[in-house]
């Protein structure tokens, strides 16, 4: 894919239109700034010519004051231009970052499985930061410096066409030379950055693994790898530094050549009486002014290439569509209260994430996790879901939440006798009616209150306290230093696994869904917490349909029905009491073998 000018233009207009007032003002200031830069040497020229002609001192003082005033004004304008262009750049790229984050949050789980957090940070922040330079500077710099360049050359032509021609030729040669040289230098700079990144990646990993390295006496191996990386780094840095020097020296030499040419030709014209001394000064000064635009323009052309890559990646990300599509015409909201659940011939496999990202949605060689799964639950039933690790229990619950859609068959929810395919239910309605406690509970670096309400300020403290009370957590709350205002560590460190689960239960309790899913963590808990959890589960499943993926006998005993999954198929499904007393049932054998030893 190549970036066309049109794509740059579209991105520009999307994110700059909201700021068009500021952008317009910026352009005006910029033109003013350039105008002043071009104007001041003219003042100086006049000063020289008048001084040479023996003008009165007060006239010269007035011109000198004008020169200082213009120079000051130009500096003030420069400050404003910089400030505003940074503002415009950040506002535009933050809007783009926001769009990317919103888009990615809406993408399905297979996308997120295929992209690591590090990659997402790089794509949403890193790529966009490169674009920021493009937004805030490119047009301003290229347009501004281009105008400055043209302005200088036009004014030189106005003085004398021979001077103008010489310096135009010089400018073109300088632009081409520097542009070429930079292109030669870029790969060396990229190689240096890559070597740096690799070196730090290596260091970080080895430092984190110090204990293992020592205990397995791997120091010599680590040191050898270290030396190899250092050698690469040195080689690439040397080359990169050399290229920078070549570039800087070329700029210096070019400027010297340009100045010599300007002085040579205008000096000659002065001696032959064609121009005044002021004009010689003017030509000299304007020539020194050419250096910066030439440097900036070639540099910005390179930024453009980087921005092109960043833009492509941003557009590609925005172009990724979620496989979980919102129903086009959603059915009326699900009823409140316990829900009936039906799985009808559901088959499912995790397609590999790459195909999700490129939008084809077709994966090759995927393994079916659920096979033609069918079962029904009446409203208010508590189902104990059992099965060996990897049998598809967690997967089944993910389908209920539409984290994934089944490949075949349908999942239906609703009031008894009035079930609808969940693909026809509005997503937020579905997720309001289904609550899930996952095996890995995610806690945020925020207060207990925010962790419980998911940052919803409309949930009052009274309700939170009541929920905690009902789940038997008041005593636990009292142990926290600041009560609901206690700030939890991110990732829930500082909380035991049991406490994290209890917090997750409270979340569900506050949400009050008609179907709850508990995916019990398989970690063993201390007896006190275990009792607390059992009591909380008891409360939680009351007057709700529940699917409990149980690893503990205590939780299984709470179930009305038991279903055993075997390699993604229903191995057994029935009333718990009936199965427990049926000598031929798999469940009974499980109980006899010691459920916890088999399942945990």
Can residue 232 be called a binding residue for Mg ion (CB under 5 A)? Answer: no
Least distance (Å) between residue 330 CB and ligand ATP: 27
**Nearer Cβ to Mg ion (321/394):** 394
Q: How far apart are CA 459 and CA 344, in angstroms?
A: 37
- Hey, what's the torsion of the CAs at 55, 61, 67, 70, to 10 degrees? -130
Site string for ligand ATP, 424-463 (x = CB under 6 A): ---------------x------------------------
Q: How far apart are CA 547 and CA 399, in angstroms?
A: 13
Q: Taken in order 590, 559, 517, 341, is the CA torsion positive or negative?
A: positive
For residue 249, what is the enclosing H or E element? helix 219-271
Beta bridge partners, 243, equal none
Can residue 389 be called a binding residue for ligand ATP (CB under 6 A)? Answer: yes
Residues 161 to 220: which contact ligand ATP by CB under 6 A?
none
- Hey, what's the torsion of the CAs at 516, 522, 524, 530, to 10 degrees? 10
Can residue 394 be called a binding residue for Mg ion (CB under 5 A)? Answer: yes
Q: How far apart are CA 297 and CA 305, in angstroms?
A: 13
Count of chain residues binding ligand ATP (CB under 6 A): 12
Least distance (Å) between residue 346 CB and ligand ATP: 13
CB 522 within 8 A of CB 498: no
Span interacting with Mg ion, options 16-24, 216-224, 391-399, 457-465, rule CB under 5 A: 391-399
Residues 362 to 381: which contact ligand ATP by CB under 6 A?
369
Q: How far apart are CA 465 and CA 219, in angstroms?
A: 55
Least distance (Å) between residue 296 CB and ligand ATP: 49
Least distance (Å) between residue 142 CB and Mg ion: 55
Considering CB distances under 5 to 8 angstroms, the limit depending on partner class, which of ligand ATP, Mg ion, none binds residue 305? Answer: none
**Nearer Cβ to ligand ATP (81/550):** 550
Can residue 392 be called a binding residue for ligand ATP (CB under 6 A)? Answer: yes
Among the listed residues 113, 194, 245, 362, the single contact to ligand ATP using CB under 6 A: 113
Length of the chain: 600
Considering CB distances under 5 to 8 angstroms, the limit depending on partner class, which of Mg ion, ligand ATP, none binds residue 18? Answer: none
User: Half-sphere exposure of 580 toward its Cβ, with a 13 Å CA cutoff?
Assistant: 14
Residue 390's SS3 state is coil
Least distance (Å) between residue 342 CB and ligand ATP: 20
Span interacting with ligand ATP, options 280-288, 384-392, 474-482, 552-560, rule CB under 6 A: 384-392
Residues 334 to 353: which contact ligand ATP by CB under 6 A?
350
Say which DSSP state 447 is in. Answer: B
**Nearer Cβ to Mg ion (393/573):** 393
Among the listed residues 69, 390, 460, 494, the single contact to ligand ATP using CB under 6 A: 390
Edge-first strand listing for the sheet containing 545-549: 434-437, 515-519, 545-549, 382-387, 561-566, 569-575
Task: Please give the span between the terminal C-alpha atoms of the chain, in angstroms, as a whole number.
Answer: 50
Q: Which residues bind ligand ATP (CB under 6 A)?
A: 113, 350, 369, 387, 389-395, 439
Q: Which residues bind Mg ion (CB under 5 A)?
A: 394
């Amino acid at each position: 894919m190549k970036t066309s000018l049109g794509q740059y233009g579209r991105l520009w207009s999307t994110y700059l239109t909201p700021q068009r007032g500021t952008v317009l003002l910026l352009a005006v200031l910029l033109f003013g700034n350039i105008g002043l830069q071009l104007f001041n040497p003219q003042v100086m020229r006049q000063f020289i010519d008048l001084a040479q002609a023996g003008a009165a001192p007060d006239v010269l003082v007035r011109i000198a004051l004008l020169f200082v005033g213009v120079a000051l004004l130009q500096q003030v304008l420069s400050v404003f231009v910089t400030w505003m262009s940074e503002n415009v750049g950040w506002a535009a790229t933050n809007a783009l970052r926001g769009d990317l984050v919103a888009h990615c949050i809406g993408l399905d789980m297979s996308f997120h499985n295929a992209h690591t957090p590090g990659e997402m940070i790089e794509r949403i922040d890193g790529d966009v930061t490169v674009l920021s330079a493009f937004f805030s500077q490119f047009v301003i710099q290229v347009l501004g410096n281009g105008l400055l360049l043209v302005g200088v050359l036009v004014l030189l032509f106005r003085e004398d066409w021979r001077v103008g021609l010489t310096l135009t030729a010089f400018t073109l040669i300088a632009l081409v030379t520097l542009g070429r040289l930079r292109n030669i230098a870029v790969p060396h700079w990229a190689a240096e950055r890559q070597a740096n990144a690799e070196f730090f990646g290596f260091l970080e990993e080895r430092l984190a693994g110090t204990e293992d390295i020592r205990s397995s006496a791997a120091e010599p191996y680590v040191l050898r790898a270290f030396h190899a990386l250092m050698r690469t780094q040195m080689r690439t840095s040397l080359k990169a530094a050399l290229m920078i020097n070549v570039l800087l020296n070329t700029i210096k030499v070019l400027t010297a050549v340009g100045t010599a040419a300007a002085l040579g030709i205008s000096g000659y014209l002065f001696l032959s009486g064609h121009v005044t001394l002021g004009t010689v000064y003017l030509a000299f000064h304007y020539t020194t002014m050419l250096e910066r635009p030439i440097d900036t323009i070639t540099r910005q052309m390179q930024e453009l290439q980087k921005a092109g890559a960043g833009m492509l990646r941003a557009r590609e990300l925005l172009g990724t569509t979620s496989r979980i599509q919102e129903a086009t015409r959603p059915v009326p909201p699900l009823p409140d209260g316990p829900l009936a659940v039906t799985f009808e011939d559901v088959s499912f496999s995790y397609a590999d994430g790459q195909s999700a990202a490129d939008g084809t949605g077709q994966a090759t060689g995927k393994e079916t996790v659920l096979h033609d799964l069918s079962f029904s639950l009446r409203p208010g039933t508590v189902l104990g879901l059992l099965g060996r690790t990897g049998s598809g229990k967690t997967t089944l619950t993910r389908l209920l939440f539409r984290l994934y859609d089944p490949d075949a068959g349908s999942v239906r929810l609703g009031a008894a006798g009035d079930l609808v395919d969940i693909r026809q239910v509005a997503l937020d309605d579905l997720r309001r009616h289904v609550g899930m406690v996952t095996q890995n509970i995610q806690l945020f670096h925020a207060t207990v209150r925010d962790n419980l309400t998911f940052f919803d300020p409309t949930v009052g403290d009274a309700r939170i306290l009541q929920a905690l009370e009902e789940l038997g957590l008041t005593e636990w709350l009292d142990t926290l230093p600041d009560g609901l205002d206690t700030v939890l560590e991110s990732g829930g460190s500082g909380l035991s696994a049991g406490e994290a689960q209890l917090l997750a239960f409270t979340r569900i309790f506050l949400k009050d869904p008609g179907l709850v899913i508990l995916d019990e963590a398989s970690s063993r808990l201390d007896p006190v917490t275990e009792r607390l959890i059992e009591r909380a589960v008891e409360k939680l499943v009351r007057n709700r349909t529940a699917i409990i993926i149980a690893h503990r006998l205590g939780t299984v005993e709470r179930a009305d029905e038991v279903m055993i999954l075997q390699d993604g198929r229903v191995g057994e499904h029935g009333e718990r009491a009936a199965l427990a007393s049926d000598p031929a049932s798999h469940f009974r054998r499980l109980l006899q073998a010691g459920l916890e030893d088999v399942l945990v």
